[in-house]
Amino acid sequence: MLYRSWLRSEGFTPEVFDGRPVIGIANSWSELTPCNLHLRGVAEAVKRGVWQAGGFPLEFPTMSLGEPIMRPTAMLFRNLMAMEVEELLRANPLDAVVLLSGCDKTTPAMLMAAASADLPAIMVTGGPMLNGKFRGADVGSGTHVWRFEQELAAGRMTQGDVLEAESGMARSCGHCMTMGTASTMACMAETLGMQLPGSATWPAADSRRLRTAQLAGQRIVALARTELRPSAIMTRQAFENAIVVNAAIGGSTNAVIHLLAIAGRLGVPLDLDDFDRLARRVPTLVNLMPSGRYLMEDFCYAGGVPAVMRELGDLLHTGHVGVTGRTLAENIAGAECWNRDVIRSVAEPLLPPGTGTAVLRGNLCPGGAVIKQSAASPHLLKHRGQALVFDSIEEYHEAAVKPDLPVTESTILVVRGAGPKGYPGMPEVGNFVLPTRMLDRGVTDMVRISDARMSGTAFGTVVLHVAPEAAAGGPLAMVRSGDWIELDVPGRSLTLEVSEDELTRRRLAWTPPDLAYHRGYARLYVEHVQQADQGADLDFLVGASGAQVPRHNH
């Protein structure tokens, strides 16, 4: 009576307590997260399915992370959201959960939570916005923001043009409709087997988004009665499939960090080199911005993730079982590609194997670094240049507009202090706009190196996630303007041409930056965050503790 009576205040009839599965619907709806704004409607569709299948749905709010709005960066809070959702799943009397996410960090945060709580779970991502439209052309969220910003800085667009473009770029509910981080992570959730086949790509405004949510509601009731928990679904094979599909879709570099973090929660061995090794065999098939020309709506109508997986054939582990309870082979058996320009074949790919995200090693990044080759300029993939170093992104922004900045086309721009500890939160600033002097000369790309991340919608010859970061005393902290750096992406190396002796001298003279956050979450984060090559999770959140509330042992 104690437990039932308060829930009766919500107006339920007694039979909801007859032992049927209690299904949580974890909703990251928020007006501060425009990409997730429509999730209340999605939750209603999930509830329909749960009731239909004989479950008892209870929706609850979670923290939400609005990528374009939060400061200093939404990534700072991914681990906090993961921790919050994990504890909500464990503390409440739920038999299973449907996770509603959308914007970049909400999807990995919820997957990390589900992994650690290990409660039967299905994810329903909110779907992408409709294709952006501006003056007769398709424009992509993020990708065209960077382009238009460069055009504005170079004087080829006016403020009026930009205002007109931005309204056409976001003309429906949903997350970014380029192959940015949100779309990538939605595809990753589907590939890992945590959302229903085909559901990553339905546009948010398409009625089939709600249909897929209702189906998820039906399915989760059955899943609650099985042992098909996240730990049984997100296996090493599932992560290998995710790496392969990420390469084939031209997915975001952020997927590297998020997949490492999710795997870390499950104790699945996965490291940076797995990404390079597995991706080398995979051609880029999906012709979407920022690597290609189309957008998520086109990808959806062309067949979405199942069509890509079918095309990849034996590059994938087809015996893997996801939330459907069926094997991947069974799930994609009927998948068709309806537009070969959007989803290319393995025989005629958009980009050949080995041109996806590459992992670099070298004395500048002993813990590794990544570069998205498909978004880079081919002529810069092998490049030697002199460093021009900035200790923060703010310092760079101030200097970048100066007409006398000592920079040439071959300069390598280095920005540090933007890693997990240094910023804190590892913001998406690695694709910083080129110096005005270079833009005025018509230069469109230069090699940029940082310990930051970049938006999945961005492009450029940009080396990211340098580990260890500068604030942790990595070699990046020792680089000085004028040093020669060699980037060799085909050879997977990043070399600072400074002798070991000199580096040791510099290290001895180096003073660590003041990272003192005296209270609250920022303090917890800076004290415990891991480096990018480990997924930037908090060290004490690594591993799972299951669905049961821990009991104190007296």
For residue 353, the minimal CB distance to ligand FES (Å) is 28
Q: Which residues pair with 496 in a beta bridge?
A: 485
Which residue has tokens 């009927």?
334
Question: Quick one: how far is CA 337 from the chain centroid?
Answer: 25
The burial of 252, by beta-carbon neighbours within 10 Å (0-12 exposed, 13-18 middle, 19 or more buried), is given as buried
Minimum CB–partner distance for residue 249 and ligand FES (Å): 16
Quick check: 180 binds ligand FES (CB under 6 A)?
yes
Chain Cα centroid distance, residue 262: 11
Torsion of CA 69, 75, 79, 82, to 10 degrees: 50
Q: Does 179 bind ligand FES (CB under 6 A)?
A: no
Least separation, in Å, of the C-beta of 444 and ligand FES?
23
Please tell me the count of residues contacting ligand FES according to CB under 6 A. Answer: 10
The region of 115-123, 174-182, 316-324, 491-499 touching ligand FES under the rule CB under 6 A is 174-182
182 is an interface residue for ligand FES by CB under 6 A: yes
CB 155 within 8 A of CB 190: no
Supply 120's token pair: 């039967």
Least Å distance, CB 68 to ligand FES, is: 5
- Find out whether 102 and 39 touch, Cβ atoms under 8 Å: yes
Q: Which is nearer to ligand FES, 175 or 344 (CB)?
A: 175
| Closer of 141 and 450 to ligand FES (Cβ) | 141
When binding is defined by CB under 6 A, the residue of 58, 99, 103, 434 that contacts ligand FES is 103
Which residues have a Cβ under 8 Å from the Cβ of 464 and sit 6 or more positions away? 253, 369, 370, 371, 430, 450, 452, 453, 454
Distance CA 361, CA 380 (A): 17
- Of 68, 72, 366, 491, the one binding ligand FES (CB under 6 A) is 68
Distance of alpha carbon 413 from alpha carbon 396, whole angstroms = 9
CB 73 to ligand FES: min, Å: 12
Kindly state whether residue 140 participates in binding ligand FES, applying the rule CB under 6 A. no
Which of 59, 86, 95, 104 binds ligand FES (CB under 6 A)? It is 104
Among 175-183, 220-228, 444-452, 489-497, which window interacts with ligand FES (CB under 6 A)? 175-183
Helix-strand-coil percent breakdown of the chain, rounded to 5? 40, 15, 45
According to the binding rule CB under 6 A, does residue 176 interact with ligand FES? yes
**Token digits of residue 447:** 């090699």
- Alpha helices by DSSP H, listed for 389-496, are 393-400, 436-440
Site string for ligand FES, 27-46 (x = CB under 6 A): --------x-----------
Touching ligand FES, residues 291-320 (CB under 6 A): none
Of 280, 113, 289, the residue nearest 189 (C-alpha): 113
In this complex, which beta carbon is closest to ligand FES, that of residue 259 or of residue 478? Answer: 259
Is 533 a residue that touches ligand FES (CB under 6 A)? no
Report, in Å, the least distance between residue 27 CB and ligand FES: 16
Q: What angle do CA 174, 176, 177 make, to 5 degrees?
A: 95
| Radius of gyration, alpha carbons of the chain | 23
**Cβ proximity to ligand FES, 130 vs 176, nearer residue:** 176
Nearer to ligand FES, 173 or 365 (CB): 173
Does 175 sit near ligand FES (CB under 6 A)?
A: yes
CB-nearer residue toward ligand FES: 37 or 46: 37
Q: At what angle do helices 254-266 and 106-117 cross, to 10 degrees?
A: 10
Nearer to ligand FES, 50 or 452 (CB): 452
Chosen residue from 59, 67, 469, 533 binding ligand FES by CB under 6 A: 67
Among residues 35 and 272, whose Cβ is nearest to ligand FES?
Answer: 35
Q: Contact positions toward ligand FES, by CB under 6 A?
A: 35, 67-68, 103-104, 141, 175-176, 180, 182
